A and B are shown apart, each in its own frame.
Chain A
Amino acid sequence: MEVLTTQSFADRVRTVSNTCRMQISKIVDEADVSTQPCAERLDGDHLVAWTRDTRSMSFWCLLSKKESSKLEKYDLNEFPLAGFSKSDMLGIGVPEQLISSVYELKKLEDLDSVNLSESVRHRLRFVFLQRFYGLIFGREQLVRRAYNVEHFNRYLHGNITELLLHLDETQQRIVDLDGDGTIIVKGVAGSGKTAVALHRIVKILEQRSLFTPPRILFITYNRSLVSYAGELLHALGIKASELTISTLHALCLKKMENKIKIISDSEKREMLLQARVQVQKKNHNSSILAYPETFWQDEIHLIKGRGVERLERYLKLSRFGAGRALDRESRKLVWRVFVEYQEQCAANQMMDWDDVVWSAYKELMRGKQEGDNLELFDFVFIDEAQDLTPMGLRLVNQLAQPGGSLFVAYDRSQSIYEKVGFKWKDCGIRLHGSRSYDLACNYRNTSQIIQAAYPLLITTDGEKNIDDNEMDVSQPVFSSRRGEEPILLDCDTGKEIEVLCQNITDMIKSELIPPQNIAVLCYPNKVRELVAQEMTERSILYQKHTGKDRIHLLDPSVKVLPIKSAKGLEFPIVYLLASGFWYRPHLGLEEDDRKTYVDNMQRVFYMAMTRAMTRLVLVYDRKDPVDFIHHLLD
């Protein structure tokens, strides 16, 4: 293997002890191909940092204890096991009288000095490893985009703010733009749209003076992204109280103040059915009424999402890309069902999310007209804008102060829920004079991972993508980062979870991977429970996320997430369970619905695969791999 060193590094190596030098040569010899920047403590005084790929390896710096004090804060002073409660310790099997000596362990070797039974020591060693490497890499994980010596050096010397999420030139330009006007950032997955938005927020807030800081609203797609953004901003030194981070729905609910009953999925289905029955009773028999459930849900979502208030407008509405064509008479019928459905909802005093957004918009406009004292924002950021309806975008646009600045980041190809065409002017966002940027470089994934995932995107969108659609699918430029091929782990039927957990254990032990770098994306929900159960038995530190509660990215533990909650997040290592069994549509579904279901699932699976930054592991039943990965199996 070729070794590259910086001059300062080479100079330093001459000054260190023989043992340290031996350790460095050992690092060179190891066959690890992780392209992540790594750091290791050689002895009490020295720390070495390096990166490598398959062909070459470069050393970045060798630091003495004094210089690495920034890192020390996160490891040397920590007692990796002190974070566990006494009952945790008893659970692992540590005898009560030894617990306090276990707390005081700082080094793995010291574990041998505590008089523990072999099996307990074995478990504890594993827990210790996860914890210790979790602590060391806790902050480093945030520097994962470090790509050269200078970059990493700056991090080690303390300028963490600049480096948390690295920006390339284009991204930096967007961050530095003047405050006024709309900025539209169109980017492929992993191109750092969120990073740009967060940096821009930090920049705006950093210019604060004695005066009141600017009012900032950051709208993102789901709750895990809300907490992700919060956590990153916290690490960047921004307090949660300094801006509003929210999903659009939560914001609307808050604005409305009074209690609203949100319709549940089953209630919605029931009411739609009722509405259709009512229309049918009034002698409007038509084959459309027998269209599948999903058609109706989508169509009503479309009407509300576009803010269509009258039949005439609906008749003229462009339904490009919506799947089925509808003639004039059919549309009239659809409108009747829609009206019927709305009446049903109103009678039961219920609203669906689209209604909530719509009425929040109406309320806001009313307030504006009557000159109410509204809390508007100087800067509005919309991340993952592709997942908002035009009505949602219109609302967010109105939340900006007159003369305020709007920042829209979107990626059409990742859209899970939206299928219908889109026009900016529908949302009241004027493109005139706005600045639009295209982030075409994927920094998140290695080219191997993109190549593995890309075919899924094409087969879904290939037939639906229409050229004159304003929000076109950004063609991902393949990443310049190279890495390993996705790992395919086949196993016997029913053994997927066992194999998966075994693999995680091995990886942590042999490669010293910090557990928080690993995410297991689960579908359906019961799989998540099974994974969690297995991990408990194997002493893997994990955190189970339900999609509702906060996700602690920096917490040293493996993240076990529902697949949809992973949207917008990224992890160095991602495990996906890929047995066909879990992804099959219900038998009861009709042919059309089945197709929609599979198409949707494929999109989701694409999204899940591209969460992986350096390593993707697919675990599947060798007799029944999911269709989405067939192209990888040959």
Chain B
Amino acid sequence: MGNNIIKRIREEILLALDAERRTVKKKLGALGEMLDVVLLRGKKLVSEPGVYVYSFYCDLELHLDEGLEILIETPGFSSSGEILEHDTDSGDIFLVLRDDVGRHPNEAVMRFDSTFLLDLLKKKIETITNLALGQTDVLTSFDVAGENISLALRLLQGDAEAGRPVLIERSGLSEAQKKSIEFALGQTVAYLWGPPGTGKTRTVAHLVHELAKRSEHVMLCAHTNTATDNALLQTLDVADWSEGSIVRVGYCSEKVQRRGVDLDFLVDRKIHRTYPDITYRINLLGQKLKSLQVDFPGSGSMGDIPIGRRLRIILEIMKGVEDKDTTDLRRELSWLKQIIESLEIELLSNARVVATTLTRLYTSRLVGKIMCDTMVIDEAGIASLTVSMVAGCKAKKRVVAVGDFMQLPAIVQSDDSHARNWLGKSVFESANCHHPEKEHALRTMLYEQWRMHPGISKIVSSIFYANKLKNAPLVVKTAIKKHAVLILDTSHTNARSQLMRTGSKINKIHCEIVSKIISMAVDEEIAVIAPYRAQVRNLREVIRVGSSEAIKQGSLEVFTVHRFQGRDKQTVILDLVEAPGTKCGFLDEIKNPAAEKLINVAMSRAKQKLILIANLDYLSFSLGRDALINRVMAQARMSGATEVDAGSDEGLRDCRAFMRGEL
């Protein structure tokens, strides 16, 4: 691999990150490095010493990434922590904090460095490329573990030699899933293409187990904590794993914690075995802190907390006592730190499977120090090239990118062409295996879907998957024998769309129609999807009045497409919003290259019923009869969809019958 290529890659990625950094700052209007954001209506969800999970309402258009480090202040309290999840549709933000900040903090100020993650990513890229170019120094070599950049570049370019599949014996898998695993085992670089409902996570779980069985060290990374946990839970269910063979790094859900794979938990168990006096020494530390008149949770309340976490709390507290003489304390602490770190590394290098988020690969020094044989990148379609490159570097033998390039792409804020390339594209695109109709030597496809009613999957398959997506026999058998798709044509209503100041759109008549449909539903889970944030908010307002109970129970959810990626619902109502009054840029595949992906994701969330609310006259007038969305409609008609006029009483009667499964 030529040094020139690496140099150029570094140069371009750094330009991309700088451009993104500028845009983020501009969008937030930040003057300084740190930024204050006001959070409202706080609620404590989880309360364990050292781990406090809060939800807040945060009116911020810009999406904040998971893993972003923050400081939070409420009247009388303050704590550090990180962002668990930020949902820009509803304004909900979930934080995991190290300290308690009160039960119902009505108002809080969150401080964060908006470009914290970008800066870390930048540093990581610099380190990796320096290493590859032989320009390492003592400081940087500390954070790396012999990164394999040549494999990463193969992953980005898709130019590895295609190997023969390795046949395996395995039960509990469909033919397509088994074949995909066999294919992946035979490659150094493999792209595993998993359209909606094809059992991607399940396949990943079995692949990970198969690799572990072959005594490989596997790293399993996904874009979000939730996705990582899901993949991990399935992996845990595939076989009996001995303690310590699977390790999860980072904050994980309670379900995963209960399985005893949390790194903190494992360290804790080990440390007690190796150093029986550890609890005593820690308590002593606490007492010393107390003697410095620092508020420190008593040993009683600290009892259940893993040592690692406890240490982090103490370190946090130490920051506040820098003015006092703490030399002894610090010596003791650094000793403890070293022990824990060496234990952590030992655990990670002995583990068969290490699971973490992609973000951790460049934020955590610990993860930076380990390598694996095979890297499995789950949801690689939504991970940027740059992040995938960092992941690819971690593998010695093999990289498997799992995902679907026909679903949501990575989010990039900047318009800069470097940023769009390196932060907005996925490895499927850079390796040029993102054309559904074209075969790629390193790509294998999960072609059997288990989620959608055949009437829905037929549309999705023919429009988005070049007819390659087939129904599993079970789906055909269990399908309710009625129509699965309803097109509600609003051409004959007075529906108009309005452009909001933010550039988003609303359509009030469509809101009313959606609300009517929901009132017709007989208890089932419903997702309402609209492509515009303003419309989503509007829909929530209207629906909350009638069906607040359902919203609370989570059987009714209203979001933009992004929130539903990776999930499914019994019934999906897709409100296309577009109507006379504004131009329809969003659905125009020529103007908006992401249109295809968004429509695909929205439609393929539905298991049994799909309702499309659209102004058909307007769509065919302003986009042309052969535009993507109109081909969707034509295909829906051919697949037996019912089409009704939303403006007539008859139409509403048909709609009611449809919702009750009588049509």
A369 contacts partner chain B, Cβ-Cβ < 8 Å: no
Cβ-closest chain B residue relative to A239: B593
CA A550 to CA B624, docked complex, whole Å = 9
Residues of B within 8 A of A209 (CB): 157
Stretch of B124-132, B264-272, B418-426 with 4 or more beta carbons under 8 angstroms from chain A: B418-426
Considering only residues 195-240 of chain A, those with a C-beta below 8 Å from chain B are: 209-213, 215, 227, 230-231, 234, 239-240
Task: Tell me if B588 and A212 are in contact (CB < 8 A).
Answer: no
Partner of A79, one of B8, B491, B626, B634: B634
Cβ-closest chain A residue relative to B430: A210
Task: Tell me if B590 and A83 are in contact (CB < 8 A).
Answer: no
CA A88 to CA B624, docked complex, whole Å = 15
Task: Tell me if B637 and A82 are in contact (CB < 8 A).
Answer: yes
A119 contacts partner chain B, Cβ-Cβ < 8 Å: no
Task: Tell me if A549 and B622 are in contact (CB < 8 A).
Answer: yes
CA A246 to CA B421, docked complex, whole Å = 21
CA A212 to CA B429, docked complex, whole Å = 12
A138 contacts partner chain B, Cβ-Cβ < 8 Å: yes
Task: Tell me if B422 and A212 are in contact (CB < 8 A).
Answer: yes
Residues of A within 8 A of B156 (CB): 210
**Minimum distance in angstroms from B458 CB to a CB of chain A:** 13
A153 contacts partner chain B, Cβ-Cβ < 8 Å: no
Task: Tell me if A212 and B418 are in contact (CB < 8 A).
Answer: yes
Residues of A within 8 A of B153 (CB): 210
Stretch of A11-19, A259-267, A389-397, A552-560 with 4 or more beta carbons under 8 angstroms from chain B: A552-560
Task: Tell me if A543 and B633 are in contact (CB < 8 A).
Answer: no
A86 contacts partner chain B, Cβ-Cβ < 8 Å: yes
CA A375 to CA B415, docked complex, whole Å = 10
Task: Tell me if B617 and A212 are in contact (CB < 8 A).
Answer: no
Q: How many residues of B contact A (CB 8 A)?
A: 49
B369 contacts partner chain A, Cβ-Cβ < 8 Å: no
B542 contacts partner chain A, Cβ-Cβ < 8 Å: no
Task: Tell me if A87 and B489 are in contact (CB < 8 A).
Answer: yes
A104 contacts partner chain B, Cβ-Cβ < 8 Å: yes
A103 contacts partner chain B, Cβ-Cβ < 8 Å: yes
Residues of B within 8 A of A211 (CB): 8-9, 12, 421
Contact with A along B631-653 (1 / 0, CB 8 A): 10111011010011100000000
What band does the interface of chain A fall in when counting residues whose beta carbon is under 8 Å from B?
Answer: 35 or more
B620 contacts partner chain A, Cβ-Cβ < 8 Å: yes
Cβ-closest chain A residue relative to B619: A85
Task: Tell me if A212 and B421 are in contact (CB < 8 A).
Answer: yes
Cβ-closest chain A residue relative to B418: A212
Instruction: Give the residue among A86, A104, A549 with the most B Cβ atoms within 10 A.
Output: A86
CA A86 to CA B634, docked complex, whole Å = 11
Cβ-closest chain A residue relative to B422: A212
A241 contacts partner chain B, Cβ-Cβ < 8 Å: yes
Residues of A within 8 A of B624 (CB): 543, 550, 552, 554-555
**Minimum distance in angstroms from B537 CB to a CB of chain A:** 25
Cβ-closest chain B residue relative to A378: B417
Q: Given A210-B157, A240-B591, are A85 and B625 neighbors across the interface (CB < 8 Å)? A: no
Task: Tell me if B417 and A215 are in contact (CB < 8 A).
Answer: yes
Task: Tell me if A82 and B593 are in contact (CB < 8 A).
Answer: no
**Minimum distance in angstroms from B596 CB to a CB of chain A:** 10
Cβ-closest chain A residue relative to B415: A375
Contact with A along B602-624 (1 / 0, CB 8 A): 00000000000000110011111
Residues of B within 8 A of A210 (CB): 5, 9, 153, 156-157, 430
Task: Tell me if B634 and A82 are in contact (CB < 8 A).
Answer: yes
CA A33 to CA B15, docked complex, whole Å = 58
Task: Tell me if B489 and A86 are in contact (CB < 8 A).
Answer: yes
Residues of A within 8 A of B623 (CB): 550, 552
Task: Tell me if B626 and A555 are in contact (CB < 8 A).
Answer: yes
Task: Tell me if A552 and B627 are in contact (CB < 8 A).
Answer: yes
Residues of A within 8 A of B157 (CB): 209-210
Task: Tell me if B9 and A556 are in contact (CB < 8 A).
Answer: no
Task: Tell me if A213 and B417 are in contact (CB < 8 A).
Answer: yes
Partner of A87, one of B5, B12, B617, B640: B617
CA A212 to CA B415, docked complex, whole Å = 13
Q: Is the interface of A mostly helix, strand, loop or mixed?
A: loop
B360 contacts partner chain A, Cβ-Cβ < 8 Å: no
CA A446 to CA B331, docked complex, whole Å = 92
Task: Tell me if A213 and B583 are in contact (CB < 8 A).
Answer: no
Task: Tell me if B421 and A85 are in contact (CB < 8 A).
Answer: no
Task: Tell me if B622 and A87 are in contact (CB < 8 A).
Answer: no
Considering only residues 83-137 of chain A, those with a C-beta below 8 Å from chain B are: 83-88, 100, 103-104
B416 contacts partner chain A, Cβ-Cβ < 8 Å: yes
Considering only residues 535-551 of chain A, those with a C-beta below 8 Å from chain B are: 541, 543, 549-550
Residues of B within 8 A of A556 (CB): 625-626
Cβ-closest chain B residue relative to A551: B624
CA A561 to CA B624, docked complex, whole Å = 15
B492 contacts partner chain A, Cβ-Cβ < 8 Å: yes
Partner of B492, one of A87, A375, A557: A87
Residues of B within 8 A of A554 (CB): 624, 626
Task: Tell me if A85 and B620 are in contact (CB < 8 A).
Answer: yes
Residues of A within 8 A of B421 (CB): 211-213
Task: Tell me if A83 and B622 are in contact (CB < 8 A).
Answer: no
Residues of A within 8 A of B620 (CB): 83, 85
Task: Tell me if B643 and A85 are in contact (CB < 8 A).
Answer: yes
Residues of B within 8 A of A231 (CB): 590
B630 contacts partner chain A, Cβ-Cβ < 8 Å: yes
**Minimum distance in angstroms from A454 CB to a CB of chain B:** 34
Task: Tell me if B622 and A550 are in contact (CB < 8 A).
Answer: yes
CA A138 to CA B625, docked complex, whole Å = 12
Task: Tell me if B12 and A212 are in contact (CB < 8 A).
Answer: yes
Task: Tell me if B591 and A86 are in contact (CB < 8 A).
Answer: no
CA A555 to CA B418, docked complex, whole Å = 34
Residues of A within 8 A of B12 (CB): 211-212
Contact with A along B457-500 (1 / 0, CB 8 A): 00000000000000000000000000000010101100000000
Task: Tell me if A375 and B489 are in contact (CB < 8 A).
Answer: no
Residues of A within 8 A of B16 (CB): 212
**Minimum distance in angstroms from B7 CB to a CB of chain A:** 11
**Minimum distance in angstroms from A529 CB to a CB of chain B:** 15
Residues of B within 8 A of A550 (CB): 588, 622-624
Contact with A along B577-613 (1 / 0, CB 8 A): 0000001000011111100000000000000000000
Q: Given A375-B416, A556-B625, are A85 and B591 neighbors across the interface (CB < 8 Å)? A: no
Cβ-closest chain A residue relative to B15: A212
Q: Given A79-B638, A83-B634, A103-B638, are A212 and B625 neighbors across the interface (CB < 8 Å)? A: no
CA A622 to CA B589, docked complex, whole Å = 46
Contact with B along A52-89 (1 / 0, CB 8 A): 00000000000000000000000000010011111110
Cβ-closest chain B residue relative to A552: B624
Cβ-closest chain B residue relative to A227: B590
Cβ-closest chain A residue relative to B466: A73
Task: Tell me if A240 and B590 are in contact (CB < 8 A).
Answer: yes
**Minimum distance in angstroms from B140 CB to a CB of chain A:** 24
Task: Tell me if A82 and B635 are in contact (CB < 8 A).
Answer: yes
CA A239 to CA B593, docked complex, whole Å = 7
**Minimum distance in angstroms from B586 CB to a CB of chain A:** 13
Contact with A along B316-360 (1 / 0, CB 8 A): 000000000000000000000000000000000000000000000
Q: Given A85-B620, A211-B421, A241-B420, are A555 and B637 neighbors across the interface (CB < 8 Å)? A: no
| Closest 7 pairs between A and B when the two form their complex, measured CB to CB | A552-B624, A555-B624, A82-B634, A85-B616, A86-B643, A212-B421, A239-B593
Additional pairs, 17, CB under 8 Å, beyond known A85-B633, A138-B626: A79-B638, A82-B637, A83-B620, A85-B616, A86-B487, A86-B489, A86-B645, A87-B645, A88-B616, A212-B16, A212-B422, A375-B416, A541-B625, A550-B588, A552-B623, A552-B624, A555-B624
A residues bordering B, Cβ < 8 Å? 79, 82-88, 100, 103-104, 138, 209-213, 215, 227, 230-231, 234, 239-241, 373, 375, 541, 543, 549-550, 552, 554-557
Interchain residue pairs with CB less than 8 A apart (24): A83-B626, A85-B616, A86-B644, A86-B645, A87-B489, A87-B616, A87-B617, A87-B645, A100-B640, A138-B626, A210-B5, A210-B9, A210-B156, A211-B421, A227-B590, A231-B590, A240-B592, A550-B623, A552-B624, A552-B627, A555-B625, A555-B626, A555-B627, A556-B626
